[in-house]
Structure 1
Amino acid sequence: MHVFLPDLRLNARLHGPEGAPALVLSHALGTDLTIWDDLLPLLPGLRILTYDHRGHGASDVPKGPYAMGAMIRDAERLMEHFALKDAVFLGVSLGGLVAQGLAIKRLDLVRALVLSNTAARIGAPSLWQARAEEVRTQGLAAYAPGALQRQLGPKWRDHPARDRLETLLTGTSTEGWCAAAQAIAGADFTLTTPTLRLPTLVIAGTNDGTTPPDLVRETAEMIPGARFTLLRGTGHLPMVENPKAYAETLRTFLQEIGH
């Protein structure tokens, strides 16, 4: 369904029984809400919100660049629209930056975090500016092989998730991808994430070249009491690569915090 906000429309879906504990899933750059499709049946008894970031999927594509604050505000407004409070917010990569920013801003909305394959800061601004320029001039089809290698690891060409992820990436709006990449370039939570005091699970993948395990672990160590889990044999998007192991890790955390 489309949620009509004053400045744009965001594509969002609600899953699970009304009134159940809330879980919000926020996707990575160059993907959309369908990356969670294999995970949803493995998480019964939850009220789950999935959505497409601005510039992605079936959401509107405003002219860029985007600010990370605007992307955080998008998630905030969706949660308010659907009256979701005391939610666990799970963000992967770009979505993990949104998660950190929202938790800092709205503790009434977020009671716990899952930071998946993400960091307090993902790469230097110059890196994202160079990638955005590459995508503008050459297109996402030319950019895709390098991105997939970073996401899936050295055996990316034969990876069973390759075709699905390549279709998602190349189907993303070039304007939306570049505008969101600029939001990542400007996002730095290295001073604010250490102030978080809420239950947090941090997930990394051994084959992830986009947010390597050491980078993800550093972010986990910023948050007092955070749990760190390394999923072996997975890369940047473990909910697509191994949804069963991902769901098991997530269910254990939710049970531990009584959600």
Structure 2
Amino acid sequence: MVQFDRLAQALDGRPALQQRARKAGLSVVVRAGDAAATVRVGETITTAPGASSDAAFTLIASPETWAAYARPVPPVGYQSIVGMVRMGTLRVEGDMLAFGRNLLFLEQLFAALRPETPVEALPGIGAPVIEPVVGRYLRLDLNGRPHRLYFEEAGQGIPLVCLHTAGADGRQYRALLNDAEITRRFRVVVFDLPWHGKSSPPPGFERDAYQLTTDLYVDTVMAFCRALGLDRPVVMGCSIGGRAVLHLALRHGEYFRAAIGLQSATHADAGADTRLRDLGVMYRPDVHGQEAAAGSVACLIAPTSPQSEKWETLWHYMQGGPGVFLGDLHYYFTDGDLRNGLLDSLDTKRCPLHLLTGEYDLSATPELTAELAKLVKATSFQVMEGLGHFPMSENPAQFRKYLLPVLERIG
């Protein structure tokens, strides 16, 4: 039986979590079968048997579900509170908006149910190092409007254009840009989509409601590649980028040497409970949208990923512009859905397609990617062990084990 009284020690030695707990002022009921406990969050955290009537919401799961969550390395689908909600193994009753406001805090709080892991011993840098990465700005017109796009590059040889995930930016590929084994043969180029990272929105953006569409995404990538004069580049994208490489291969397959889809699928799995999306917690005046964005994707990261890499990945989400992640999800869930027969004409001989998907991804699951690989006769497909939805940023060392053979095959 999971001991929920362990939650009372969650704040120990964690000033940031203590600060958040003071501001949360929250009471939560936790149910495991017939047993219930009330968790009160404030200056301290207390737990008491029974269900209090003044709790904001109740988290309901079977004892077996809580036990799976509390394992040192939880199985796929049990790595987070939000993940279990997505999978339908944990139910939330009560104030769903209060739950949405506290996603990231709840993930940190309930992680105390697991055995404490040693703090990572991070190696020092030693003498100061300047990375071999060059950042520049590109000015160009898109859809009749001037844009200023930021991009970074490193290396020489075959161009490798990398597309970031929804609501984030090119920093996700920081390890790739610094990988000498890759940059020896590939010119790695990473750009921030308009509205993302260090790329500006177009003039007049304050009157617009940002929304990413298939046409806009494809046109932006092609305009960028042609502006830089890239000769038969490889395109690699993750999440929305993993969907975009499919559209790029469909429309411009003759231009690309190959496509690499990370977390690619014909569509995204919305999960068993869509109430957080329906409430729009990522773009409302009474919610810190970017913290909610980070809280909503934390469940997609493998539990074995290094904490430092996991939290840097989440930090990128905490820094996004208002409404941008939501606008990207329009493409991910609606406009870019490829369950429409278009993939029947995808020629993977003209543009070889390599698919890599993390085993812990609950959105573009290994099962969905396997279906895609079979449908389009993918050049290669592999499930990446110990990785989730953000392989290149959540655990770069593990990711390169799978990427290097693909690049070797392409090169």
TM-score relative to the length of structure 2: 0.57
Query: d(CA) in 1 for partners of 2:177 and 2:159?
Result: 13
Query: Is structure 2 residue 317 aligned with structure 1 residue 169?
Result: yes
Per-residue deviation at 1:41? 2.8
Cα distance per residue 1:13-65 (max 9 Å; x no partner):
23212xx2111100101221111111223312211210111221011234312
Query: d(CA) in 2 for partners of 1:120 and 1:177?
Result: 20
Q: 1:24 to 1:127 in 2, by over 3 A?
A: farther
Q: 1:16 to 1:214 in 2, by over 3 A?
A: same
Query: Is structure 2 residue 350 aligned with structure 1 residue 197?
Result: no
Question: Which ranges of 4 or more aligned residues in structure 1 deviate by more than 6 Å?
Answer: none
Q: Which residue of the partner structure matches residue 92 of structure 2?
A: none
Is the radius of gyration larger for structure 1 or structure 2?
2
Cα distance per residue 1:211-236 (max 9 Å; x no partner):
22111211122222431111111111
Query: Is the CA contact (8 Å cut-off) linking 2:153 and 2:177 kept in structure 1?
Result: no
Q: Could you tell me which of 177, 199, 206 is aligned with 1:59?
A: 199
* Percent identical: 21
Which letter maps to 1:15? Answer: A
Per-residue deviation at 1:177? 1.7
Q: 1:51 to 1:159 in 2, by over 3 A?
A: same
Per-residue deviation at 1:244? 2.9
Higher RCO structure (Cα 8 Å, ≥6 apart): 1
- CA RMSD in angstroms comes to 2.4
Q: Which residue of the partner structure matches residue 382 of structure 2?
A: 229
Which letter maps to 2:163? Answer: S
The count of corresponding residues between Structure 1 and Structure 2 is 253
Query: Is structure 2 residue 175 aligned with structure 1 residue 38?
Result: yes
Query: d(CA) in 2 for partners of 1:193 and 1:214?
Result: 17
Cα distance per residue 1:173-193 (max 9 Å; x no partner):
123222222222211223223
Query: Is the CA contact (8 Å cut-off) linking 2:236 and 2:261 kept in structure 1?
Result: yes
Per-residue deviation at 1:250? 2.1
Q: Which residue of the partner structure matches residue 140 of structure 2?
A: 5
Cα distance per residue 1:159-185 (max 9 Å; x no partner):
332321221001011232222222222
Query: Is structure 2 residue 254 aligned with structure 1 residue 108?
Result: yes
Query: d(CA) in 1 for partners of 2:325 and 2:148?
Result: 17
User: Greater helix percent: which structure?
Assistant: 1
Query: d(CA) in 1 for partners of 2:232 and 2:344?
Result: 21
Q: 1:175 to 1:220 in 2, by over 3 A?
A: same
Query: d(CA) in 1 for partners of 2:229 and 2:174?
Result: 23
Q: 1:193 to 1:211 in 2, by over 3 A?
A: same
Query: d(CA) in 2 for partners of 1:144 and 1:245?
Result: 22
Per-residue deviation at 1:242? 2.7
Superposition pairs of residues 240-255 of structure 1, within 5 angstroms: 240-255=393-408
Query: Is the CA contact (8 Å cut-off) linking 1:136 and 1:178 kept in structure 2?
Result: yes
For residue 160 of structure 1, give the secondary structure of its aligned residue in structure 2: helix
Query: d(CA) in 2 for partners of 1:140 and 1:169?
Result: 6
Which letter maps to 2:345? Answer: T
Which letter maps to 1:2? Answer: Y
Q: 1:14 to 1:153 in 2, by over 3 A?
A: closer
Per-residue deviation at 1:12? 1.4
- Structure 2 gaps, min length 5: 1-135
Structure 1 stretch 32-41 or stretch 139-148: which is displaced more? 139-148
Per-residue deviation at 1:127? 5.6
Q: Could you tell me which of 108, 121, 133 is aligned with 2:280?
A: 133
Q: Which residue of the partner structure matches residue 371 of structure 2?
A: 218
